[in-house]
A and B are shown apart, each in its own frame.
Chain A
Amino acid sequence: MTTRPNPHLDIDNYDADADLMALNMGPQHPSTHGVMRIKLFLDGEVIIKAVPYPGYLHRGVEKLCEKLTFVQIFPIVDKHDYVAPMTNEQAMAVAFERTLGIEVPRRARYLRTILAELTRISSHLLWLGTFTLDIGGTIGGGASMMMYTFRERELILDCFEMLTGSRFHYNTHCVGGNRHEIPDGWVAVVKSIVATMKLRVPEYEQLCTGNEIFNMRSQGVGVISRDLALELGLSGPNLRASGVDHDLRRDQPFHAYDEVDVQVAVAQGGDCFARYQVRIAEFYESIRIVESLIDNIPEGPLSSQRPVKSTLAVKVKTGCHYHGIETPRGELGTYIIGGGDNKSASPYRLKIVPPSLHAMSALPYALVGHTVSDVVAILGSLDPIMGEVDR
């Protein structure tokens, strides 16, 4: 049994002389990254208990999936993590392919890896922009950084539009491969993005790491210890910022990651600054991975399956299956119980395991003892996306 703070503090029996106040933060607070509410119990200005209330974006996707067939599920998973939609589809595709033992051609695996890394860059760009805006740590009170990161994110979304025809809801993955062939000139566009990012990331770092306000507001704030991070089930940059050297890209490779040498970025602090350090290091790592793959995309087919003519083409007959991949936020898993409606072409039960929900469950531990002004810094650094938490 471990010793950890109690998130279910009994407020009624708390110190009777204390200056207690309950404060609802959200659901429409600009820094809640979607719509969520945190009920803060304050003693003076210090938080003694924090209770998250998600559910404002609940759309019942898991119930919908029980009626849709496996082929029909792909378009709706784009809407979960709306900051990095590409990796949602990939998590679904990898889960179905591993469950059914379907091979993916090498060309599609390379393309998926490049798309995943570009998505990681674009997701971390949005995170960096909003995080610095939340804590006001860069020149111009933080808003200038947001302009810079959105300028670069636009390049990546344009490049996805060139490949798939849409900027957000791509529907480009299917069971067995990818749908959209690489257009002429796309490789050159990706190379120019990578070259731009190589120049920009050191600029971001200079703006933030060298800034005294940024350092004071992020260092030592919201510390999550190594053991607690594991117990909470944190994954991705949040887990690595607490000193755990764990990344599914290296530890259980998917796509073409077994052909790349992934250097996992780890920081020891466990605070907001460590989470920032890990994400900045992941910028460089993603740039390196894209650079090493973009010139070597093999020729060949993009899909190992014939084009689907029936929605009943993919069937999981029996059993429970869990498969997860590393998305920009951490391990996005899919738990499938086969043998559902439509002659097993629908899942009996499909659970999407979102990394953001685990990040949310860290809030009652990370917020206690800090002041109200630190809430946005801690929430921002954990990077939960509410569309993914609520589903």
Chain B
Amino acid sequence: MNELLSALAAAFPDFIDAETPDPSGPMVPASQHIAFATFLKERGFTRDVTVVGSHWPAADEDSVGEYEVGTVLRQPQPGSFPFMWRVRIAMTDTVPTLFPLFAGADLQEREQFDLVGVQFGDHPDLRRLMLPEDWEGHPLHKDYAIDTPHAPWR
């Protein structure tokens, strides 16, 4: 873990701090998302574990709120540990897709688009995965109450 962090700090000095690592995983700018994943994949983190989106509503009326996209990769070998990092974007922006690097990101990102609403740029087939195509809204938004009205059956 420490070796990996110092290698990351050498390659991405702008946002990786090897001295005091964030236990929740480093915050990576969206522009560096692909480069960061490529770097990790070349260092043995070849197994795509998951993509997790979460919604952070705006504190005041002037801003639009944020999405946070966490990505977890793992080394398929003894002593393996999951490595995760996060990307924060405004709700109007997009995160570049990891599909060219990890085939499993296809369905993972579609699920996060469906439930959370994160837009993944350049995704080849960004459709809803779980909910029907004509569903309105994204259920894991913090302002989407469990009793939000919608057509309940079809």
Contacts and interface: CB of A to CB of B under 8 A. Distances in A.
Interface of A: 1, 4, 7-8, 52, 54-55, 58, 60, 62-64, 66-67, 227-228, 230-235, 239, 244-246, 248, 250-252, 318-324, 331, 333, 335, 337, 348-349, 351, 353, 357-358, 360-361, 365, 390
B50 A8 contact: no
Given A250-B78, A252-B81, A320-B24, A233 B139 contact: no
Given A233-B47, A251-B79, A349-B140, 4 more contacts: A7-B106, A54-B129, A60-B139, A351-B52
A304 B131 CA distance: 41
Contacts of A360: 107
Interface in B67-101: 70, 72, 74, 76-82, 84, 86, 100-101
B3 to A, nearest CB: 18
B132 to A, nearest CB: 8
Contact of B48 (A55, A232, A322): A232
B130 A54 contact: yes
Contacts of A1: 100
10 contacts: A8-B124, A60-B146, A231-B48, A235-B47, A320-B70, A322-B50, A333-B82, A335-B72, A360-B107, A361-B106
Nearest to A59: B130
Contacts of B79: 251-252
Interface string B119-132: 00000110011111
A346 B29 CA distance: 29
A250 B128 CA distance: 37
B131 A353 contact: no
A348 B54 contact: yes
Given A239-B76, A251-B77, A353-B50, A324 B82 contact: yes
A55 B129 contact: yes
Interface size range on B against A = 35 or more
Interface of B: 23-25, 46-50, 52, 54, 70, 72, 74, 76-82, 84, 86, 100-104, 106-108, 111, 115, 124-125, 128-132, 139-140, 144, 146
A52 B130 CA distance: 11
A124 B102 CA distance: 28
Contacts of B108: 233, 357, 361
Nearest to A338: B24
A77 to B, nearest CB: 17
Contacts of A235: 47
Q: Which of A324, A335, A348 has the most CB of B within 10 A?
A: A335
A231 B104 contact: yes
A252 B130 contact: no
A337 B78 contact: no
Contacts of A324: 49, 82
